[in-house]
Structures are given as C-alpha cells and as structure tokens.
Amino acid sequence: MSFSGWGYVWTAVMPLAVLLYYFFRKKYKDQHVASTMFWQELMKEIKASPYLKKLQHHILLYLQLAALLICVFALLGPHLTSEALEGNEFIFVVDTSATMLAGEPAAFELQQELMKEMATQTGGKPVTIVTTGANPEIVLRKEPNREALETAIDRLAVTYENAKIEQTILFAETLIDDESTVIHVFTDALDRSILANKAGMAYEIHGIDQPLQNVSMRQFGLAKTEDGIRAIVQLVNETAEPVSGKVILTDGEVEKTANIQLEAEEELLVPFEQLPDSPVWQAVLQVKDDYTADNSMAAFVQEASTRVAVDSSLHELVGAGFRSLNVEVDLMDPMQLRKAGGSPLVTNQTDLLAGQMPILLIGRNDEKTHRVAGAIETVPHALFTYAPFDGIYISEIYPPFEEYETIATIDGEPLIQLSPEGDIAVLTDIQLTDWPLHPSFPLFLWSAIGELSGTDNFFGFFQPNEQRAVALASTRGEWEIYKDGEFFYSYIEGQGAFSAPQEPGIYEVVGEGKTLKMIVQLSNEEKTLVQGTSYRIGQAEETAETAELSIVPWLLFAVVFLLLVEWEVYRRGNAHR
C-alpha cells in the first residue's frame, strides 16, 4: 500500500485532541450514596482508574474516534499498487468469429475473463474496444472507467462471421492518437506474418494455445437424379486420431443416417442416394469434438447460376455488364447456342424460346423495330427493385409477344415481357438506347440472371451477417424473417442492403403471401481450427510500470457505516432513559 497525501499527516492530531478534551472535561451529575462508608469506597474506585471508567461507558466515543481516524487515513490518499499494462492508451480488438466458440470453456469466454482482468490493470487509462468482422464496430471509445469496461465486455457476443482480423487491425490503427498506444488482439490464433511490417507500433496478441479436436463438415450438395435426390457430404478430420460418428440427413419429415469412421487427418465423402424430392435438406454430424458450430449444413436442390452463355452477335456491352457482376460469361456463336449447358442464355434468337434453357431475350431476330418516344413505366416486380428505368432513352422497340405478360412499357407499348415459362424478353437492342450509361443496366442484368436461374421459393445462401442487395418486390415493401416459427426481424425494401441473420440455420422470408427459404451457413474459413500462441510485437513509449487503485471510496463507505451504527446506539440510549 502507498500514500499520495503525506501532507495531511498533521490531521492526526485531531483525534488526539478530541480524546484529551474528553478525558479532562468537567462533568457533574447527582450521585446517591447510602452512607458515608459507601461514599468512601466509591471515591477510592474512581481515583484508582478515572480514565478507564470514563471509557468503559462511552461506546459513542469509540465510534466517533474510529470514524475520525478513518477520515484522517483517507486524507493521506491510500492506494494499492499493481503491475500496470504497458502503454498509456489501449485498444482491445476482439475476435467474434465462430471459431471462438471452440473448446470447453469456449475460447471467447476465456478471452472475456482475460479482458476483464486486464481492465483492472489499466490504472484508469482510456480503453477502446473494437469487434472484428466485415464492418468492424467500436463498442467503447476511450473509456477509463473499469465498471463500464467490464459491463461492455460482458455484453460482447460471437457473431459467427469471418473475423477479417487483418482488416480490423487496420481499422483500429486509425483510432490511435498516442504513440504509446498498445493494440491488444484477443483471438484464437493469429499468424505473425500479418504483423510483420508493423514497425513503430506496439501489439500484444492473446491466443489460445490449447490443442483442440475438430471434425468439420466442409461441403454438402444436392442434385436431382432419375431415382430421386442424391446428396454428398464432405467431412474432414483435423485431429491426429481416428474418430467415429454418424451423419444424419433430414428434410423435416424423412431422416437418413450413415455411420462414419475417419482416420487421422482424413477427408471422406459420404453419399446418400434416392432421397425424397424435397427442396431443402439439412445434414448434421454427430461426433465427439471440441467445436460444434461446423457440424451442420443445409442445402437447396437448385442453386443460382454464376455462369451465363451470351450470344456473340449481341452488343459487347452485354457481356461487359455481366462481367462487372463477377459472372462467368461464355461468348458463343449463334449457331452453337443450342449446345449450351443449363446456364441462362442471353440472345436475340426467338426460336430458342421453345427450348428448355432459361433465356434473357434482348431484341428479336424475327421482327423489325419501329420508333417510340416517351417515359418508361414499370409494374412492381423483382427485376426493377434495384434497376429503375428513370431517365433512360430508347429510340426504337420490337413488336411484343401476344401471349407474354408485360411488366414495363414505353409510350403505352410493351418494352419488357415475361413468358409463361419465366423467360424474360427485352424488346429493344442495346445500341438503340443509352441504357448502358446508367447504373441500372448491370443491376437489371444481375436481377435477370437471378430470376432465370433461381426458384420461386428460395431466397438464397448467405453467410452470417452478410449484407447484400436482394431482388424483392412487393406492394407493402416489408418482409419478415422467421426461424422455426420464431420471428427475428423485418426487412424494409429500399432501406439499404439486406442483412442476413448472424446465426447459421434455415430461415423463412415471409411477405406478399409467400414464403421463401433462406440458408445461412459458415464460411469455410470458420471450419478450421488452428492452435494459437500469445506474443508481443513492438514496445510502447513513455509508459508507467504500476497501476494505482485508490481505496478511499471503501474508506468513505466505512465512515458512513460507522455513522449509522452511532445513530442507532444514540437512539437506543435515549429510548431507555
């Protein structure tokens, strides 16, 4: 224990002065004595120990002196000293990825306890807490209060998304205002190479060095066959020992089970044949390991295509528009289009509409155009959710298809139509418009490819907390997210990108009288465990070696308690008079 207010040591004379005053003050009271003989005996006893007699019957004096002594002690500024963290300011980077759930207790819980322990060693210096992810979040900014820090640490939770820890560290570096700031990274494992070029800055990595056993489900796919649905599950044993267990497939009604045996560090493909024709299946791995978050996956029978076949006779901006969306484009000769695979086809050949391939028709090769003028009007449809046609100039259009549904018009004439089979027909050529100059052009292509390759009851695959533009259209503009019948949140169209739930699983997106399935699952990066280590890089400047924890608040609490006791003693004394 140390003291910072030795200049107030002179106040110690005050309790002594009170005590002396109490001893030597004169106080008279009536004393009834039965006889002179008893009077003499009483006087002898008082003279033998006059001061002790006074003290024996005055508990109030004891309490007052104790309170006064504590106040004098508090004026000296007593405080406890402990080893302080290196640095004058701290940034806690907290890994909230799914792998932090591994272990028993979980790595995330261990790091929370470590953070709270370190919060007591900051000595009142400011602490900033940042969580990892695609969009790092500042939980607290330069907070010196230990209680506030502990409360914020207790509220932290795993978000399941990929940590992107290198990106988060770069973000944390932008928050540094002091050269003596130290960045503490709380994670399961972090490669030293990420910090190799971080010169002139101080980092301390807190990893989890305990070995963990893990068997992960890496892939789960479904495919339609003549005999029903075929499923394949890929398992990886990351441990150095053989493990056994079983894989369970279910669609909510039917359940299929396969026993498995994996050797050390073995990869295994587990097939399932002749499954019932259900659109969504879930695979669950039952095995004894230290990480359960990667032991389940869900799959949908028909996945959206990321590949498109484009007629080479179309304007080159069509292919460029798809490439800007990271869609693989196969430019094909018009004569070879019938040999294209099952991916959507973009062409102007109307005779291909009779085939089985989904088609985006841009223009017509069997008709001639005629001039039009006017504004474009659209009906509510998913194609136009993120691709408005405002301000687009179109000079000529083709005649419409009589049996098709019209969803966009110009000057009262059909411009975009839908076939009964779901094909999309744009009744103009790209070179007859200024459409490619507008941002809505690639957005329309993206919506069209999703419409052609998707299904009417599947919303898509997402990673935890993934934000993405989605093509939804409704008159109300509101969609509700459910899981196992429990409501999670609502998504309002037009109010930013859609944000997926953070916990993996199968969800329902409900709106406009229909229900769409949505699957949220971990990225492959979150299915591999790495044993970590703790280490330091760099050294902070101008740092204190110890942290001081004042005990004055506890002393003041003791004074208040003594005053309450004194009041109770005084009250009881008056009650017996």
If DSSP codes are grouped into helix, strand and coil, which group holds residue 508?
strand
* Contact indicator for 124, 544 with CB cutoff of 8 Å: no
How many residues in the chain? Answer: 577
- Assess whether 444 and 313 both reside in one domain: yes
pLDDT value at residue 156: 96
pLDDT value at residue 5: 59
pLDDT tens profile 421-452? 778 999 999 999 999 998 889 888 888 887 77
- Assess whether 114 and 135 both reside in one domain: yes
State the total domains in the chain.
5
Q: Is the pLDDT of residue 334 over 90?
A: no
pLDDT value at residue 391: 87
Give the separation between CA 279 and CA 299, rounded to whole angstroms.
Answer: 8
- Assess whether 266 and 344 both reside in one domain: no
- Assess whether 296 and 332 both reside in one domain: no
pLDDT tens profile 108-149? 999 999 999 999 888 788 999 999 998 899 999 999 998 999
Give the separation between CA 190 and CA 164, rounded to whole angstroms.
Answer: 11
- Assess whether 535 and 515 both reside in one domain: no
pLDDT value at residue 343: 76
pLDDT value at residue 66: 80
Characterize 33-62 residue by residue with b for buried, 16 or more Cβ atoms within 10 angstroms of its Cβ, and e for exposed: eeeeeeeeeeeeeeeeeeeeeeeeeeeeee
Q: What percent of the chain has pLDDT over 70?
A: 81
Q: What percent of the chain has pLDDT over 90?
A: 40
Residue 399 in any domain: the answer is yes
Residue 559 in any domain: the answer is yes
- Assess whether 315 and 282 both reside in one domain: no
pLDDT value at residue 69: 79
Per-residue tokens: 106 = 């979980």
Other CB atoms within a 10 A radius of the CB of residue 2 amount to 11
pLDDT value at residue 475: 60
Is pLDDT larger for residue 458 or for residue 345?
345
**What average pLDDT does this structure show over 95-119?**
94
Residue 263 in any domain: the answer is yes
- Assess whether 171 and 252 both reside in one domain: no
Q: How confident is the model at residue 577 (pLDDT cuts 50, 70, 90)?
A: low
Q: Rounded to whole angstroms, what are the CA distances from 142 to 79, 126, 127, 168?
A: 23, 4, 5, 17
Q: Report the CATH number at residue 390.
A: 3.40.50.880
Give the separation between CA 564 and CA 576, rounded to whole angstroms.
Answer: 19
Q: Report the CATH number at residue 234.
A: 2.60.40.10
Domain of residue 474 covers 458-524
pLDDT tens profile 158-205? 999 988 899 999 999 999 988 889 999 999 999 988 888 877 788 999
pLDDT value at residue 170: 92
Residue 30 in any domain: the answer is no
Is pLDDT larger for residue 356 or for residue 254?
254
Give the separation between CA 152 and CA 169, rounded to whole angstroms.
Answer: 20
Q: Is the pLDDT of residue 339 over 80?
A: no
Phi, psi of 354 (to 5 degrees): -80, -10
pLDDT value at residue 56: 45
- Assess whether 42 and 98 both reside in one domain: no
- Assess whether 342 and 298 both reside in one domain: no
Give the separation between CA 535 and CA 203, rounded to whole angstroms.
Answer: 8
Q: Which residues, at least 6 apart from 27, have a Cβ–Cβ distance to it below 8 Å?
A: none
* Contact indicator for 415, 400 with CB cutoff of 8 Å: no
Residue 29 in any domain: the answer is no
Q: How confident is the model at residue 416 (pLDDT cuts 50, 70, 90)?
A: very high
**What average pLDDT does this structure show over 52-73?**
67
DSSP-derived pairing of the beta strands 370-371 and 396-397 = antiparallel
pLDDT tens profile 10-48? 666 666 666 666 665 555 555 565 555 555 665 665 555
Residue 27 in any domain: the answer is no
Domain end point (choices 303, 322, 356): 303
- Assess whether 198 and 325 both reside in one domain: no
If DSSP codes are grouped into helix, strand and coil, which group holds residue 426?
strand
Per-residue tokens: 96 = 């909230």
228-237 sheet: strands from edge to edge: 215-225, 228-237, 267-275
Angle at the Cα of 102 from the Cα atoms of 190 and 138, rounded to 5 degrees: 55
Angle at the Cα of 179 from the Cα atoms of 176 and 180, rounded to 5 degrees: 100
Please name which of 101, 207, 134, 195 lies closest in space to residue 531, comparing C-alpha atoms.
Answer: 207
pLDDT value at residue 52: 45
pLDDT value at residue 390: 83
- Assess whether 225 and 341 both reside in one domain: no
Residue 447 in any domain: the answer is yes
Per-residue tokens: 470 = 């989605």
Residue 339 in any domain: the answer is yes
Q: Report the CATH number at residue 516.
A: 2.60.40
209-213, 332-336, 426-430, 502-506: range with lowest mean pLDDT: 332-336
Domain end point (choices 282, 303, 324): 303
Mean residue pLDDT across the chain: 83
- Assess whether 151 and 261 both reside in one domain: no
Per-residue tokens: 515 = 């229900």
pLDDT tens profile 451-489? 777 666 788 788 899 887 676 656 667 889 999 889 999
Q: Is the pLDDT of residue 363 over 50?
A: yes
Residue type, 260: I
Domain end point (choices 278, 303, 328): 303
